[in-house]
Amino acid sequence: MPKLRVHNLTVSLDGFAAGPNQCLEHPLGEGFASMHTWMFAAMRDHEAGKGSTDVEYVERAEENIGATIMGRNMFGPHRGPWQDESWRGWWGDNPPYHNDVFVHTHHPRPSLTMEGGTSFHFTDEPVTTVLERAFEAAAGRDVRLGGGAATVQQYLRAGLVDELHLAIVPRLVGRGERLLDHLGDGVDGYRVAELVSSPAATHARLLRR
């Protein structure tokens, strides 16, 4: 059965998944970009054919993925109604997804078809409906749930996440957006299937029972 999976979600020791004041200059929030150093290094090593614990987890994120879900904050820095539709994402003309991407937003706009097989669909539908659409688009493969933290929280609260991979960076942030707050029963029913450390991060892989 196809699954909803979260991969490479980087959090600090004190549980923050983004810094404060996310904007064009600070897409991940102020002071948070360096939290992803482990992943950028792993991506370079992957391209160079080098192996490591971090590389293995980065590679897993691409396996058997047929569609993607993300929040509007992950798609771009703008808030509120779209002033125009010129913003086409952070990734240039050929985004790295190469599948249908469903973007949660309170302000839908027409779908956006990019090079390389990526199509962004903007929706204000409930998470259960969006997931159904994503599974249909994935055609039997799994769906990857991207960020940000608020979007992942919605799916956790609804009990829809099958696999959750956290990359815990040994650093205290102190402020920003926490991942595991306000979840209630959304954290029930998970088991830690893996807990593996590299010099840069500790990887916790949680599976729904």
Give the residue-averaged pLDDT of 3-23. Answer: 94
Q: How confident is the model at residue 133 (pLDDT cuts 50, 70, 90)?
A: very high
How crowded is the C-beta side of 174, counted as CA atoms within 13 Å?
Answer: 2
> Is a pLDDT exceeding 90 seen at residue 205?
yes
Q: Alpha-carbon distance 171 to 15, whole Å?
A: 10
- Predicted pLDDT of residue 34: 92
Q: What per-residue confidence (pLDDT) applies to 27?
A: 86
- Of 5-14, 34-43, 174-183, which range is least confident? 174-183
**Residue ranges per structural domain of the chain:** 4-77+93-208
Nearest CA-CA partner of 77 in 37, 29, 118, 109: 29
**43-81, pLDDT tens digit by residue?**
999 999 999 999 999 999 999 999 999 999 999 988 899
Q: How does 85-113 read in b/e, with b if 16+ C-beta sit within 10 Å?
A: eeeebeeeeebebbbbbbbbbeeebeebe
**Number of other residues whose CB lies within 10 A of the CB of residue 12:** 21
Mean pLDDT (the chain) is 95
What pLDDT was estimated at residue 16? 96
Q: Is residue 16 classed as helix, strand or coil in its secondary structure?
A: strand
Q: Taking CA 136 as the corner, what is the angle to CA 59 and CA 58, rounded to the nearest 5 degrees?
A: 10
- Whole-model pTM over 0.85: yes
CATH of 4-77+93-208, one of 3.30.428.10, 2.60.120.1440, 3.90.980.10, 3.40.430.10: 3.40.430.10
